Structure 1
Amino acid sequence: MKWLPHTLFGQIALALFVVLAIVQVLGLWLLLEDRGRLNYKLLAEYAAQRMAGIATVLDQAEPTERPMLVKALSVQPTMLSLSVPWAVEKIDESPDARLFAAEATRQLPQPLEIQMLALERIDPMLMGVHPPPRPNHPEGGHDSVLSRGKLFARTYVAQIRLHDDVVVTFHHLLPVPATDLPYRLIALLVLLGLATTALAIWAVRRLTRPLAHFSRAAAGLAKNLNQPPLPESGPQEVQQAVRAFNTMQRDIKRLVNTRAQALSAVSHDLRLPITRMRLRLEGDIAPELREKMARDLGEMDSMIGHTLDFLRAGSDTEPMVAVSLNALLDSVIEDMEELGATITRQGQCTHAIRARPHALRRCIANLLDNARFYGGGNIKIGVEETDTAVRISITDNGPGIPESELEKVFEPYFRIESSRARHTGGTGLGLPIAKAIAEAHGGTVTLTSGIGEGVTATLVLAKLSA
């Protein structure tokens, strides 16, 4: 899913937010549900208590006083009638009705017979219920929900038989559970959710920050083997991973240094017999043989030198300083033109860059030398400057490189025999050295080419930070 975050921090934060949102919504729903049930229970108990109280008053009153009491006590939501006979059918035996009757019976000081009726439509005239008159009604008539033959929601109709067998019919409207939202409670839950989310995000960020440092260090290990070790902070598992990474970095650095020292010693030992052989060539040897042996010894010496240069390409023995790229390019171009190259340059770099000048000079010289050997000597250099980097493109007019070989030419000792090495005798280390130096500077070297279209080498370097 494209909309999902790709980082560990984003995924954990999103999961926590979704879980908290679901919990908050469910909690609010449960609170509202419980509040509605409690509200309805309290009001229903009040209705049963009111019914029992009215029945007690009517039971204790004189028969002549009861009609006046019924008229006085018939106030919404409870309407009374003394004219409805005791029902023998349509008795409501539902659990709610039984609970309601039981609650009313409990509220009575003296036991009276109570029954709950279930009626879908109530005819107020049959019940003897007379709603209060509505003003401006023609003929002094009455209008109400009951007179229109409609029932209120949650309406109970009950009958109570007094001790003198008088039947009192109650029509009581139980309230609908409250549907209004408790805004203060919602605001409290939202505030609690936001505070919990912020705390969770802070905790996740604190846990994942060492992993971000770990990722950057792992990505930069190939470019700078001598980068400082990571601080061993964070949870125990992260500390163990960082400690293992630092140990691995030390081991790799020690292995590379040991390899470089061994090759350097071997190269030094090889140069001694090469020098002795050159001295012996000055003896009585045929000129043709002397020339061939001298050429072989020169190639051996050159290969040893290029191998040592490749091993030293990514080292940081030379300090990083501010370098004027324009002056460096002018110097390298001048050397290449003395070797017979024709170079056309476009663009300037107005800001300094941080670099190791001798190593960077070797990188650019290798790229130009590669273009001079394999591109016919006609070279175009373009310099483009952005806010953060400088792009140097070097284009030749040679036969080009197949697309499948563009990455392989950066491998040590790799040569494309059919189009290049046969005429140059190169060691296959020029481009690998240039790439190693560029990556040691935090830059990149890439090649683009097509058969018969020449090769464009692009060197990208970061500018000097303020």
Structure 2
Amino acid sequence: MKALPRTLFGQIALALFAVLMIVQLAGLWLLLDDRGRLNYKLLAEYSAQRMAGFATVLELATPEERPALVKALSVQPTTLSLSLPWASDNIDDSEDAANFMREALRLLPRALPIQMLKLERIDPRLVGVHPPPPGVRDFDRDDPPRSKLFARTYVAQIRLGDGTVVTFHHLLPVPSGDLPYRLIALMCLLGASTGVLSIWAVRRLTRPLASFSAAAAGLARNLDQAPLPEAGPLEVRQAVQAFNAMQRDLKRLIETRAQALSAVSHDLRLPITRMRLRLEGDIAPELRNKMEHDLAEMDSMIGHTLDFLRAGSNTEPRVAVNLDALLDSVVEDMEELGAVIEREGQLARPVMARPHALRRCFANLLDNARFYGGGRIRMRIEDAGHEVRVSIQDHGPGIPEADLERVFEPYFRLEASRARHTGGTGLGLPIAKAIAEAHGGRIVLHSPAGSGLCACVILPRAALSEQTG
């Protein structure tokens, strides 16, 4: 089953091709079968005409002339004999024999007694049967259970007006074994043309679905992508119309949310600023420090929340980014904070990305590794051609396997292991993940027992090179 196509176009094309082949083969068999039956019928009619003609000549001849006529007329494929008596106990009552007799009676000048005999109970020498020519099988001798369609030999007796019994042995010619190449070529041409037209029609019907799937996959990365063309069958056009409407509604919703967030940020930070100004008054130093700490924490939470909500937005344009230089800048910042970073690998060519967002992604991951991993970090860069991998490995306590996905949830923090200190707001990893996904990539966390945490950022180079904003 793995060899079967997985796409809709492939499955429909395969089904059409299989059905077409079955129909063509069945049609070819029916044509060849009908052709064989017609050939057999014509040969049988010809043999009946030949026998009726011989019987007419013998009926008009005198008894003295008949032996000479029988000898002269006994030419393959028909031999005649006057030596066999009327064999009423060896009648062939098959359907082929009945059809043959009806045709012979229709051609005889007057109604003469006629019967068909079974060859198996007749000594061939009595009817003057000659051996078959070289290269031709005697089907009646070699294959006793003869085919009903291609019975090769007829043995018939006609009683003339004076009682003389004439026995006819007619050997039908062996049909040619050559295939009807023209008929087969015609069927192949018909099948090929029908198959090509069917595949073209299926491709035309499924192409909008492929575009629809690609647009749906890229919607999360770029809400500003061009609307899909409303083409194809009615059902596909309706689905595309619904998709375009959904894209417009999502874009409008996000724009409305951004405006609301900006307003909330402004409205919240104004009271915070006023409270800081009032703290400059005559307030006890200990109380002032506590209040300033609370205000700074509120301001930080607001800033981080806004950063998280803006992480997947596409407001920043994509440009060619030297990822090595960007990582060098982030590493220098982390080393100033006390981190010891060991870096391996480099990229041979730039990538298309949003530099500020990508810098924030790596800064969050490195700061997370510095804060929870003891300060020693190993960073490895790999260029796999179709994708870029940046691995950040720390030497901290790691994360339980059950929580590797939960740490990407907003505001989720591990209290028992990596949150021994106050830590942040629980938005560092979610922001990094949202930025990576906005670039068409992903972040994979791996935490072997006793080996800290490894965060691998995977960015598809094809997507980075093709999407320009």
Do these two structures clear the TM 0.5 threshold for a shared fold by scoring above it? yes
Secondary structure of 1:63 counterpart: coil
Q: What's the counterpart of residue 231 of structure 2?
A: 233
Identify the match of residue 391 of structure 2 among 366, 370, 393. 393
Secondary structure of 1:421 counterpart: coil
Shift of 1:150: 9.5
Q: What's the counterpart of residue 183 of structure 2?
A: 185
**Matches of residues 112-191 of structure 1 in structure 2 within 5 Å?**
112-127=112-127, 129=128, 131=130, 153-175=151-173, 179-191=177-189
Shift of 1:131: 4.0
What are the superposed Cα offsets for residues 191-211 of structure 1, whole Å, 9 maximum, x if unpaired? 221221121111111111111
What are the superposed Cα offsets for residues 89-135 of structure 1, whole Å, 9 maximum, x if unpaired? 222233322221110011112332212222413214444x274899x
Q: Partners of 1:133 and 1:195 in 2: how far apart?
A: 46
Secondary structure of 2:430 counterpart: helix
Shift of 1:225: 2.4
Asked if the contact 2:436/2:443 (under 8 Å) is kept, the reply is yes
Secondary structure of 1:391 counterpart: strand
Q: Partners of 2:142 and 2:90 in 1: how far apart?
A: 18
Q: What's the counterpart of residue 139 of structure 1?
A: none
Q: Could you tell which deviates more after superposition, 274-283 or 446-455?
A: 446-455
In structure 2, the CA distance between the partners of 1:93 and 1:9, relative to structure 1 (3 Å rule), is same
RMSD, aligned α-carbons: 2.4
Q: What's the counterpart of residue 272 of structure 2?
A: 274
Q: What's the counterpart of residue 105 of structure 1?
A: 105
Q: Partners of 1:150 and 1:260 in 2: how far apart?
A: 91
Name the aligned partner's letter for residue 79 of structure 1.
Answer: T
Q: What's the counterpart of residue 423 of structure 2?
A: 425
What are the superposed Cα offsets for residues 50-92 of structure 1, whole Å, 9 maximum, x if unpaired? 0000000111122221111100101122111112222332222
Identify the match of residue 332 of structure 1 among 330, 333, 353. 330
Secondary structure of 1:458 counterpart: strand
Shift of 1:175: 4.2
Secondary structure of 1:120 counterpart: helix
Q: Partners of 2:460 and 2:119 in 1: how far apart?
A: 87
Q: Could you tell which deviates more after superposition, 266-275 or 112-121?
A: 112-121
Identify the match of residue 353 of structure 1 among 332, 351, 354. 351
Q: What's the counterpart of residue 221 of structure 1?
A: 219
What are the superposed Cα offsets for residues 18-77 of structure 1, whole Å, 9 maximum, x if unpaired? 100110111011011101100000000000000000000111122221111100101122
Shift of 1:277: 0.9
Q: Partners of 1:449 and 1:91 in 2: how far apart?
A: 93
* TM-score normalised according to structure 2 size: 0.92
Asked if the contact 1:40/1:177 (under 8 Å) is kept, the reply is no
Shift of 1:420: 2.9
Name the aligned partner's letter for residue 63 of structure 1.
Answer: P
Q: Partners of 1:131 and 1:371 in 2: how far apart?
A: 103
What are the superposed Cα offsets for residues 393-435 of structure 1, whole Å, 9 maximum, x if unpaired? 1111111001111111111111111123341331111111111
In structure 2, the CA distance between the partners of 1:93 and 1:344, relative to structure 1 (3 Å rule), is closer
**How many residues are paired up?**
456
Q: Partners of 1:233 and 1:185 in 2: how far apart?
A: 41
Q: What's the counterpart of residue 138 of structure 1?
A: none
Structure 1 residue runs of 5 or longer lacking an equivalent are 135-143
Q: What's the counterpart of residue 8 of structure 2?
A: 8
Q: Partners of 1:133 and 1:416 in 2: how far apart?
A: 98
Q: Could you tell me the percent identity over the aligned residues?
A: 73
Q: Partners of 1:395 and 1:150 in 2: how far apart?
A: 83
Secondary structure of 1:308 counterpart: helix
Q: What's the counterpart of residue 20 of structure 1?
A: 20
Q: Could you tell which deviates more after superposition, 456-465 or 189-198?
A: 456-465
Q: What's the counterpart of residue 78 of structure 2?
A: 78
Identify the match of residue 400 of structure 2 among 395, 399, 402. 402
> Residue 49 in 1 paired to residue 58 in 2?
no
Name the aligned partner's letter for residue 235 of structure 2.
Answer: E
Q: Partners of 2:114 and 2:64 in 1: how far apart?
A: 23
* TM-score normalised according to structure 1 size: 0.92
Q: Partners of 2:417 and 2:94 in 1: how far apart?
A: 98
Secondary structure of 2:378 counterpart: strand
Q: Partners of 1:125 and 1:346 in 2: how far apart?
A: 100
Shift of 1:15: 0.7
In structure 2, the CA distance between the partners of 1:149 and 1:38, relative to structure 1 (3 Å rule), is closer
Name the aligned partner's letter for residue 36 of structure 1.
Answer: G
Identify the match of residue 307 of structure 2 among 303, 306, 309. 309
